[in-house]
């Protein structure tokens, strides 16, 4: 029986969602997840934003700023960063 090709549809969304869930309880692991995504998609704005958030949560302000700048450069004019951050805050 031939093996079925792996379905990668939604895998980026799933990886990003997993990293978002990890932000508050395990920011180091969230940063690792974001870096794993970025290894495959170096200019993925959502992963760069998540990396910045995870680094900020760990107290790495300079690393967070660098990631946020990369996210802004990857998606200039995007409001995704603002809406993503506001979702996490009540």
Residues in the chain: 90
Residue 84 confidence (pLDDT): 43
Distance CA 70, CA 11 (A): 22
Looking up tokens 């995007």 gives 78
Residue 77 confidence (pLDDT): 74
Residue 89 confidence (pLDDT): 38
Residue 57 confidence (pLDDT): 97
Residue 76 confidence (pLDDT): 80
Residue 85 confidence (pLDDT): 43
Token pair in block for residue 11: 């895998």
Splitting the chain (90 residues) into consecutive groups of 10 residues, what average pLDDT does each group show?
Answer: 52 93 96 96 95 98 97 78 42
Cβ atoms within 10 Å of 9's Cβ, excluding its own? 8
Distance CA 25, CA 4 (A): 36
Distance CA 51, CA 38 (A): 9
Residue 90 confidence (pLDDT): 36
Residue 75 confidence (pLDDT): 87
Which DSSP state fits 9?
T
């Amino acid at each position: 029986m031939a093996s079925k090709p792996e379905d990668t549809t939604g895998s980026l969304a799933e990886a990003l969602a997993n990293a978002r869930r990890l932000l508050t309880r395990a920011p180091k692991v969230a940063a690792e997840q974001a870096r794993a995504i970025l290894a495959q998609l170096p200019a993925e704005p959502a992963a760069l934003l998540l990396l910045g958030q995870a680094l900020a949560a760990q107290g790495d302000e300079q690393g967070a700023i660098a990631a946020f700048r990369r996210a802004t450069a990857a998606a200039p004019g995007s409001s995704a960063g603002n809406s993503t951050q506001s979702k996490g805050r009540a």
